[in-house]
Amino acid sequence: MTVISEIDPEFSPQITVVKVGGSAGINYDLVCDDIAALVRKGEKIVLVHGGSDETNRVSTALGHPPQVLTSPQGYTSRFTDTETLDIFCMVYAGKMNTRIVERLQKRGTNAVGLSGVDGRLLQGPRKSSVRSVVNGKQVLVRDDYTGKVETVNDSLLHLLLAAGYTPVISPPAISTEGEAINVDGDRASAMIARALGARQLVILSNVPGLLRTFPDESTLIRQLKFTNLDEALGFAEGRMKKKVLGASEALMGGVEQVIFGDARVAGCVSACMQGQGTVITR
């Protein structure tokens, strides 16, 4: 396996990017236990987290229930008008991020929380309109604050890592025009791993990895070659599709391994770094 030029091992020793989802069943205490243990051993970790489940809950409680857009290709995303984006910021950058940083601080890890708006950490274009399938018909949705991460302010992350801090990152990102935008956390974590020249990107969710026959956990795929990702996309259901897409983007950008693992069990990050779960390589 060749390592492409943008990886500079001098500048970013042993950086691992860990993405932990925001779905039901995920145990943040266990994830933080493990990350704190790894940081104590000298590992450089950048944690990226989600918050979708809690955003749904708070949106509903505030009388602004979530609406899902489905693209013609079958990818789903949250319809994000201004009010939804406010709620999104509250849950992701507010409650989830602060509480995860608090958990890590309690465990002795000097965590610093950042959203993609901070220092233009995660930047990219806002979509002018989103193509969506409603009742079998394609429609164009506007007033949607979503987009895609294209550049990462890696110097801010290196500044913090070099000073001994552990960055904890969540969406939103910032658009080229300076607006907060909803972006997919899995794909954002792939861009972060690329920008940092990370060796490994660990993507944790509430399943043990990529399953050949969802939700049968005995059909866990243990190894996958990059060339088979189109096939993988075929049997990735629902939200696993974007994780597979993120994995391919990370690998194409020079990350050596992407590992899908189970955020419901103790030691999940370490286990993934040692080859548990679904290990995807080029």
CB 107 to a copy of itself: min, Å:
8
Name the nearest CA neighbour of 157 among 282, 236, 73, 48. Answer: 48
The reply on whether position 36 binds a copy of itself by CB under 8 A is no
Question: Residue 15 half-sphere exposure, CB side, CA atoms within 13 Å?
Answer: 29
The β-bridge partners of 132 are 139
Report the residue from 7, 20, 36, 101 that binds a copy of itself according to the rule CB under 8 A: 101
CB 276 to a copy of itself: min, Å:
29
Segment 63 to 82, residues that bind a copy of itself, using CB under 8 A: 63
The reply on whether position 32 binds a copy of itself by CB under 8 A is no
CB 206 to a copy of itself: min, Å:
22
- How do the residues of the chain divide into helix, strand and coil, expressed in percent and rounded to 5? 35, 25, 40
Residue nearer to a copy of itself on the CB measure, 122 or 236: 122
Tell me which amino acid residue 51 is: G
The reply on whether position 62 binds a copy of itself by CB under 8 A is yes
CB neighbours of 183 closer than 8 A, spacing ≥ 6? 116, 122, 124, 146, 147, 148, 149, 171, 172, 173
Report the residue from 21, 50, 113, 261 that binds a copy of itself according to the rule CB under 8 A: 113
Positive or negative torsion for Cα 229, 198, 169, 26? positive
Residue nearer to a copy of itself on the CB measure, 93 or 236: 93
**How many residues touch a copy of itself (CB under 8 A)?**
41
Residue 79 is classified by DSSP as -
Residues in the site for a copy of itself, rule: CB under 8 A? 58, 61-63, 86, 89-95, 97-99, 101-102, 105-106, 110-115, 117-120, 155-156, 159-160, 163, 165, 172, 174, 177-180
